[in-house]
């Protein structure tokens, strides 16, 4: 199965010159969704995974399914102010300004092996913030899996340069 065939591309969204890669079509296709989850899990088979962490929001869908397949818990990494309990957070730079991701203080135990999941890796800013957050909570981030890599934006390379294993299912040149 070619995942590119299951992912819709929307030109000029959210602004001119951007080719938006929409995974809702993949999620709506039972065979493609199942295959994507299986392939996101495969590189980590046989490795001890204590938690799967998913980045808001599509990472919740994929990460929940991966956690189910690995029979482990799931940690939602949310945008600032969305979690109801005590949190720790990590700020990160955006093109124009800053944002923040957070987890509950009791979501990770020191020494937990955590797998980070999201739908797409672009510049890597959000993923790196998620990794730093997990590590500050005491976790060992054993790897990161994404459906889509936009290689020219360099995010996967930034994660690898930081010593993190990165797995993606499909690369799209041009963004």
Answer yes or no: 8 catalytic: no
The pLDDT value recorded for residue 175 is: 64
Please indicate whether residue 95 is annotated as part of the active site: yes
Residue 85's CB: how many other CB atoms inside 10 A? 9
Residue 147's H or E segment, with its range, is strand 140-149
Q: Determine the topology of domain 47-171 in CATH.
A: Rossmann fold (3.40.50)
The model's pLDDT over 107-158, given as tens digits with 9 standing for 90+, comes to 999 999 999 999 999 999 999 999 999 999 999 999 999 999 999 999 999 9
Residue 64: predicted pLDDT: 98
Q: Of 58, 78, 90, 102, which one is the catalytic site residue?
A: 58
Look at the alpha carbons of 67, 46, 38, 114 in this order and tell me if their dihedral is positive or negative: positive
pLDDT computed for residue 97 by the predictor: 83
Establish how many alpha carbons lie within 13 A of residue 12's alpha carbon, considering only the half-sphere containing its beta carbon.
1
The stretches in the chain having pLDDT less than 50 are none
pLDDT of the residue at 1: 80
């Amino acid at each position: 199965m070619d995942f590119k065939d299951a992912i819709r591309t929307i030109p000029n969204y959210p602004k001119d010159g951007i080719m938006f890669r929409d995974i809702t079509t993949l999620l709506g296709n039972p065979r493609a969704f199942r295959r994507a989850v299986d392939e996101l899990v495969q590189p980590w088979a046989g490795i001890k995974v204590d938690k799967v962490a998913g980045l808001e929001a599509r990472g919740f869908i994929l990460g929940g399914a991966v956690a189910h397949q690995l029979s482990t818990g799931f940690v939602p990494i949310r945008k600032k102010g969305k979690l109801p309990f005590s949190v720790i957070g990590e700020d990160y730079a955006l093109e124009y300004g800053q944002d923040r991701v957070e987890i509950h203080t009791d979501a990770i135990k020191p020494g937990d092996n955590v797998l980070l999941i999201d739908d797409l890796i672009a510049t890597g800013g959000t993923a790196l913030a998620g990794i730093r957050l997990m590590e500050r909570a005491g976790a060992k981030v054993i790897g990161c899996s994404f459906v889509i890599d936009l290689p020219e934006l360099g995010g996967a390379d930034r994660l690898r340069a930081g010593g993190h294993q990165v797995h993606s299912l499909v690369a799209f040149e041009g963004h």
